[in-house]
Amino acid sequence: MSPRAARIGVFGGTFDPVHLGHLVAAVNVRHSLDLDRLLLIVANVPWQKVGGRVVSDAEDRFAMVTAAVEGVDGLEASRLEIDRGGTSYTADTLAAVAADEPGAELFCVVGEDVAGTIGTWERVEEVRRLATLAVVNRPGAPPPTGLDGWRVAQVEIPALAISSTDLRARAADGRPLDYLVPAGAIRCIRDRGLYAETR
């Protein structure tokens, strides 16, 4: 019998900072879809966010994700987009993962807010061809539309109303991040002096 094709989750994000919403999504998608590996891929230049606000240095965001997944089975922080450099497009990332793992089945993990805007992605047809969309529910996001023609796996997770936007505001005015952000990532924030500039 030939071995089962690897099943790999590609979970892209800015992760500025990474939080329990991301991690609960990651472990539950991995479990529900029986994935061998789930890669949290730190965007180098998130094209949808530049211009609107200052995005933390990619190395700082990668350090936080690395600390957050340490010791968690099957979850990996990925430097793929950072090492590629330039603007981060999921189409290129999926192609790179597919080239690394020939024959693997790929799952592109998104929250419902992102799933609803996927039509705006660069070379979205390539994304649709390369991966099944794994969609997790997210508080405040309407159920996504416009996914006709996609292979979709909806994964129900405990609803956590946590966002990086809110966490940056909390950090900037000194409110606690505890139990919203993993302890290792909080240590990174302290050690690197992140999100404190407006305090």
Q: Which of 28, 32, 154, 163 binds ligand ATP (CB under 6 A)?
A: 163
Let me know if 177 is exposed, middle or buried by CB neighbors in 10 A (0-12, 13-18, 19+). buried
Binding to ligand ATP by residue 111, rule CB under 6 A? Answer: yes
Task: Spell out where the chain has E strands.
Answer: 7-13, 37-42, 75-78, 105-111, 131-136, 152-155
Choices 2-10, 19-27, 117-125, 181-189; region in contact with ligand ATP by CB under 6 A: 19-27
| Cβ atoms of residues 10 and 90 within 8 Å | yes
Tokens of 59: 């190395």
Phi-psi region of 51 (alpha: psi -120 to 50; beta: other; left: phi over 0): left
Name the minimum Å distance from CB 81 to ligand ATP: 12
Looking at beta carbons only, is 7 or 157 nearer to ligand ATP? 157
> Which residues from 24-53 bind ligand ATP, rule CB under 6 A?
25
Q: What is the nearest approach in angstroms of ligand ATP to the Cβ of residue 17?
A: 9
Contacting residues toward ligand ATP, per CB under 6 A: 13-16, 21-22, 25, 110-111, 113-114, 136, 138, 160, 162-165
